[in-house]
Amino acid sequence: MKTNRMLAASIALLAAVFVFFEISEADLHVQDLFYNFTTHSWMVDAKDPLPRALFYTWPKVLIWTGGVALLALALMPLDCKIRRMFPAWKRNEILVVVSTLALAPTSVATLKATTNVFTPSEIRRYGGPAPYVKVCESYPANDHPARRGRGFPAGHASGGFALMALAALANTRRARIFCIAGGLAIGSVLGAYQMLKGAHYLSHTIITALICWIIFLALQKFLIRGDNPAG
């Protein structure tokens, strides 16, 4: 499948997933599994330092450090000793990865600031102060939160899902599939951690993955004009 068709299919899938979660209660059914209604606690304590370090702090540090290193590599002259260590990586391919690592989280953060959706731990069903309202729903006139929610989509997982863009640097089909699967796996782990501590719903994580994928495909189309990154 060519990039154009994959991009169109991915956008259609994003729309379908969004509609599904908007008209169903799937998010709550899944999130109920992670919350103990007797002890009023989540499966993972958000304040526990070990999982926070493993699944929040250090992944962010490593992803952004890798992004900065790749940007520096892209800006190096072709005859630079370090640059010559990666002869197969073209500058545009590196820029696709760097741009995805930057634009995917930025786009998600922009949506988070505008959608006004609260996280699971912030709604009354799970002990929070806010009513449960989906993206396309309005808050009741007599029950409007004092502040805006910033729960949708999933910001933290976007860094992991953006790693799917490493497929732009792969020179074999197997390597491309490995990079895409690796990015999906890392993003899913980071997203699962957020769900287990009540910071996001399943829809937030899935939609974030699709947004990152679409941004990668679009950047690849305009910067490389290549075919399907998985093929």
- Tens-place pLDDT, residues 108-117: 999 999 999 9
Start-to-end CA span in the chain (Å): 8
Whether 96 is in a domain gets the answer yes
Residue 229 falls inside a structural domain? no
Confidence of residue 2 (pLDDT cuts 50, 70, 90): confident
Side chain identity at residue 200, one-letter code: H
pLDDT score, position 229 = 52
The pLDDT of residue 88 is 86
Give me the percent of the chain exceeding a pLDDT of 90.
84
- 79 is in which domain, residue-wise? 3-138+147-223
Report the percentage of the chain scoring pLDDT > 70: 97
DSSP string, 99-136: HHHHHHHHHHHHHHHHH----GGGBGGGT-SB----TT
The pLDDT-based confidence of 1 (bands split at 50, 70, 90) is: low
Specify which residues 41 forms β-bridges with. Answer: 36
The confidence score (pLDDT) of residue 231 equals 45
Which of 8-22, 53-67, 100-114, 217-231 has the least mean pLDDT?
217-231
Q: Give the torsion through C-alpha atoms of 177, 182, 187, 193, to 10 deg.
A: 140
* Residue 230: inside a domain: no
Residue 11, number of CB atoms within 10 A of its CB: 15
Q: What is the pLDDT of residue 141?
A: 87
Within a domain: residue 231?
no
Average pLDDT of span 143-153: 93
Q: How far apart are CA 130 and CA 107, in angstroms?
A: 25
Asked whether residue 126 is assigned to any structural domain, the reply reads yes
Lowest pLDDT segment from 59-68, 103-112, 215-224: 215-224
Residue 196 in any domain: the answer is yes
- List Cβ neighbours of 97 (8 Å cut-off, separation of 6 or more): 67, 70, 165, 166, 168, 169
Residue 128's closest CA among 119, 137, 115, 139? 119
Which pLDDT score, from 0 to 100, does residue 138 have? 92
- Sign of the dihedral defined by the CA atoms of residues 66, 179, 21, 36, in that order: negative
pTM for the full predicted model = 0.93
Structural domain contains residue 76: yes
- pLDDT digits over 44-71, tens only? 999 999 999 999 999 999 999 999 999 9
Tell me what the mean pLDDT of segment 9-31 comes to. 98
Q: How many domains does the chain have?
A: 1
Instruction: Tell me the pLDDT of the chain averaged across its residues.
Output: 94
Give domain status of residue 228, yes or no: no
More confident residue, 227 or 39: 39
> Which phi and psi angles does 84 have, rounded to 5°?
-70, -15
More confident residue, 229 or 133: 133
CA dist 20 and 15 (Å) reads: 9
Position 3 scores a pLDDT of 76
For the stretch 173-194, pLDDT in tens is: 999 999 999 999 999 999 999 9
